[in-house]
Amino acid sequence: MIPFNKPYKTPEELILLLKSRGLCISNSSKAKRYLEYIGYYRLSAYMYPFLKMPKEAHIYKEGTTFDKVLMLYRFDKKLRLLSFNEIEKVEVAVRSAIVNITCSMLHNPFWMTEVSNFSDNNKFLRTLSLIDNELHHSREDFILHFRKNYSNRYPPAWILSEILPFGVMTNIYSNLKVNKVKKSISKVFGLQVAPFESWLTIITGHRNACCHHSRVWNKQYSIRPMLPNKIEYPWINLPTDTQRVYFTLCIIKYFLNVISPTNDMQEKLHNLFLEFKEIDLNALGFPQGWEQEPLWIKSIVI
């Protein structure tokens, strides 16, 4: 390990550096604005695929332009927005299932804040601390109304679930003590408990990447999702890298097919790919013929 000693460079200096490395920049003032308002470090992730081998030499392939880099950046942005829009539907449905089924089966609207309902006490205490923090900072009208009118320390689960991050909700599910409850929730989505938990973790990670404007194009995720032994609804058959974004999109699509069988996620992806025809779908993990997979073409009858 060595100390970091790279000096800060202004946008003007970076433009000269990029040009010296073979990147074609036809409009320097335009490039300067993008470097100022997006940042070189963020854009460099989209420059990397255009480097010659060995990439450590930082020399760009012939014909590489700044506009091509921006094309990748815009595509990634639109893919994140598309993903986030679909994940919202999944998130709302999963929250609802966790709250409704657990309240019904435990006959207790306050189960979410009672330690007796959870397997790991330490994990419960960490979750309760997060709940306390969210309640303390919340200025939602329904939270203020509850504080004003009721003496309970905590609101019921259906109110709490509205202010908790999705990651906290998935942790609450995974820590539930009564396995019968967990099975009933996962069964709503045609999955066993273990793959259901795994897929919620994958969706949460992808959601967070979209929320924080992180790159999802050409990304290799660190967590390998679990493959279900059996699955109730149409799924994929073609060999697929489970750590690429395509597999994550398949998970989102699977949940959507259960929640909203007439969803238009495939059409949205198709239109995005038509808009950005230069995008290499292999870099996203899309196999040849993905559109004909059962997941993408079969309707679900529930």
Cβ contacts of 25 within 8 Å, gap of 6 or more: 15, 18, 19, 31, 65, 66
Cβ atoms of 269 and 249 within 8 Å: the answer is: yes
pLDDT of the chain, 302 residues: tens digit per residue: 899 998 999 999 999 999 999 999 999 999 999 999 999 999 999 999 999 999 999 999 999 999 999 999 999 999 999 999 999 999 999 999 999 999 999 999 999 999 999 999 999 999 999 999 999 999 999 999 999 999 999 999 999 999 999 999 999 999 999 999 999 999 999 999 999 999 999 999 999 999 988 999 888 888 999 999 999 999 999 999 999 999 999 999 999 999 999 999 999 999 999 999 999 999 999 999 999 999 999 766 55
Cα–Cα distances in angstroms (integers) from residue 117 to residues 29, 125, 129, 269, in the given order: 60, 12, 16, 41
Token readout for 285 is: 């993990």
pLDDT for 300: 63
| Cα 67 to Cα 109: distance, rounded to the nearest angstrom | 55
- Across the strands, what pairs with 118? 176
- Across the strands, what pairs with 51? 60
Helix extents (H) in the chain: 11-20, 28-37, 40-47, 66-106, 121-137, 141-149, 157-160, 166-174, 179-188, 193-211, 245-259, 265-275, 294-297
Domain range summary for the chain, segments of one domain joined by +: 11-64, 74-297
Q: Tell me the backbone φ, ψ of residue 280, rounded to 5 degrees.
A: -85, 105
